[in-house]
Amino acid sequence: MSDFAVAESIPSPLSILSEEEQLFRETVRQFAQEYIAPQARAMDEQQHFHAELIPQLFNLGLMGIETPVEYGGAGGTFFEAILAVEEISAADPAVGVLVDVQNTLCVNALLRWGTPEQKRQFLPRLAADTVAAYALSEAASGSDAFALQTHAEKHSDHYRLTGQKLWISNAKEAGLFIVFATLDPSAGYKGITAFLVDRRAPGLTVGKKEDKLGVRASSTCEIVLDECRIPAANLLGEPGKGYKVAMEALNEGRIGIGAQMVGLAQGAWSHAVRYARERVQFGKPIAEFQAVQFSLAQTATEIEAARLLVYNCARLKDARRAFMKEAAMCKLFASQVAERAASQAVELFGGYGFVKDYPVEKYYRDAKVGKIYEGTSNMQLATIAKAILKDS
């Protein structure tokens, strides 16, 4: 059993999905299993996406799910974007990152903060053929996101950005970056401003690609800005309001990471179930041993709980209700479940789980980053604690 296709699926309660959502999910699942899963191992080893994959994602409308039809997008919902990230991540979490960053961070930021002209200029590109990246993190600015040092200078009709960004997902493939820089370091977070930066902008260089533990096909690179000149019209939101752009986008992005981790957990669990049915020891499949059954049952329950946390949060977002606490909860819990599910799968496979010929070791490596990017688990706990103490 060396293929990477996901054989089993925990059926979600159909009552929480409309017929259109069920059809959408099945369409994405079929594509992921037929076209992404067979390439997962090779892309992981080669550390890049195969050339035909990204155009396929665009052609299916998966890179502009919420983008209105008038801008060339699918005109869907945030919930549908979450379904897509989940199903793609069950096949390969690295591809899930690409789709997640595009939809939940970048497209959402443009929809929320972009001017009519910016939407007309950039949204059709992001729906048709242009990957986007979200450039916030720096060497001294990780969990303390607003300690960033990249600065922007205003000139008559343009800005010049200088600094270095690190850990930028999608950077290798991206044609558009949302870059955060400060106009006034003395103003603290109130000086931070967001900019739309074309990859071809003078002074922008995509640096080295990180050699990562997991999600290796997904590019994570440094971005160097050397007096990078961009038009004044490319300022996203208001000057000094970049912290609002960043925090709102990250809250939505955390739901996406939750979906990625649910998909990852589902993929690992599915392989474990299939193997348990096939592996014979002491004269019978190991799935007939109660210890194995209980372990799989416990994980199935945790995956469903994580899924419902993610779905509820996505529904809140679509309903334009507050979801900051819920976003932190779903990312925190889903990343924990993913790590446990992947670990269980490796152990159930035994020695086979420890080698790359079988898919579960990749899920195990991919799972770790869920507790790190778009806010560490400790940062999610801090957010949850602050919210519940305020409400109580």
Quote the pLDDT of residue 140.
87
Average pLDDT along the chain: 95
Tabulate helix, strand, coil % of the chain (nearest 5).
Answer: 60, 15, 25
Quote the pLDDT of residue 235.
97
Quote the pLDDT of residue 6.
55
Enter the tokens of residue 257: 């990471």
Looking at CATH, the fold of the domain delimited by 14-130 is given as: Butyryl-Coa Dehydrogenase, subunit A; domain 1 (1.10.540)
* pTM, to two decimals: 0.94
What residue spans in the chain does CATH classification 1.20.140.10 cover? 244-391
Asked if residues 41 and 362 have their Cβ atoms less than 8 Å apart, the reply is: yes
Distance CA 88, CA 366 (A): 14
CA distances from 380 to 3, 31, 311, 322, 371 (A): 35, 33, 18, 16, 9
Residues of the chain with pLDDT below 50 are 1-2, 7, 10-14
What residue spans in the chain does CATH classification 1.10.540.10 cover? 14-130
Quote the pLDDT of residue 8.
52
Helices and strands (DSSP H and E) totals, the chain: 12, 10
The candidate with the shortest Cα–Cα distance to 137, out of 210, 49, 56, 44, is: 210
Q: 174: helix, coil or strand?
A: strand
Amino acid identity of residue 45, one-letter, is: E
Q: How many C-beta atoms surround the C-beta of residue 52 within 10 A?
A: 9
Cross-strand partners of 176: 132, 198
**For the structural domain made of 133-242, what CATH number should be given?**
2.40.110.10
Distance CA 114, CA 267 (A): 36
Q: Is 326 among the catalytic positions? A: no
Ramachandran area for residue 142 (φ above 0: left; ψ -120 to 50: alpha; else beta): alpha
* CATH 1.20.140.10 given to domain 244-391: yes
Quote the pLDDT of residue 11.
46
Each as own residue / partner, the long-range contacts of residues 360-363 (CB below 8 Å, 24 or more positions apart, any chain) are: 360/268, 360/271, 360/272, 362/4, 362/40, 362/41, 362/44, 362/214, 363/93, 363/264, 363/267, 363/268, 363/271, 363/338
Quote the pLDDT of residue 141.
87
What residue spans in the chain does CATH classification 2.40.110.10 cover? 133-242
Quote the pLDDT of residue 1.
45
